[in-house]
Amino acid sequence: MTVPLHAVKIVDRNKAPRDFQSRFLPRELSIWPRMKHPNIARMIDVFEDISRVYMILEYAENGDVLRYIQKSGAIKDHLARIWIRQVGDAVRYLHDQDITHRDLKLENLLLDSCYNIKICDFGFVKSHSMKELSKTYCGSKSYASPEILRGEPYDPKKADMWAMGVILYIFITGKMPYDESKGNSGVLEEQRKLSFPWHKFKYVTPDVKSVILSLFRASYTERPGIHEVMSLEWMRKGLEPPAAAEPEGAPGGKQSPVSIQNDSKLDIQREFATALHRSRGK
């Protein structure tokens, strides 16, 4: 009998900041277990002792996307589309329930046995996201939108969209779009210019460049929402699945295609296998 593997996230109450324990940890423990989507890592159970909280999580055996990109470099247009589509499907599922992640980054994108994306770590999750603008400046500077870096109240859904732009840029180029070592002012200047060396990246096409730049719109009021992004031609190209039921827990009345998973697409599996073989041969 094969015993399934699980991951464990441990929060040490003696070391975690009190603000985190009082504000953020309760949200994570309340919201994450309710999330039922194929591209969100499931929280299976949670328990605690006198000093620690233990979250029992779905195990993703292929690590995180950061390590994958560090090893293999930029990924081809088709593979980038698969992964950002999976991220987008999960983000759409969250946003449709008025939930925002607020810490989307490569380290929080895990890979299962078939190299499907699994979003994890809901430490900065926020519900009721449209009641008012957020004033908590959380997440990673490299993925933060201009309004966050300026210390302004922000729309958390549009901040998630900016982070998706950073993720897609890294997928297709293998590089970070902004240099956080320059500090907030330096990153803001880079965000204003959007002067990227596109010609150096062999997998950048005009269509994917257009998607990235739309997500990098400086004004969050002009930045597209998740439904608009998911309807873009590049996002839909060659990846529309047959009609099927929505992910468990999705709000009623939403007519959105389900996430494309690699275990049901043999051609995608072959492409991933080819890419892995190529990267291991470097």
Among 1, 126, 116, smallest CA distance to 59 is for: 116
Q: Which helix (H) or strand (E) holds 119?
A: strand 117-119
Among 279, 229, 266, smallest CA distance to 87 is for: 229
CB-CB contact of 218 with 192 (8 Å):
yes
Long-range contacts of 249-255 (CB under 8 A, 24+ apart): 249/34, 249/35, 249/36, 249/37, 249/93, 249/97, 250/37, 250/93, 250/96, 250/97, 251/96, 251/97, 254/96
d(CA 162, CA 148): 11
Per annotation, catalytic residue among 103, 112, 121, 155: 103
Does the annotation count 103 as an active-site position?
Answer: yes
d(CA 182, CA 92): 32
Q: Report, as residue numbers or ranges, the catalytic residues.
A: 103
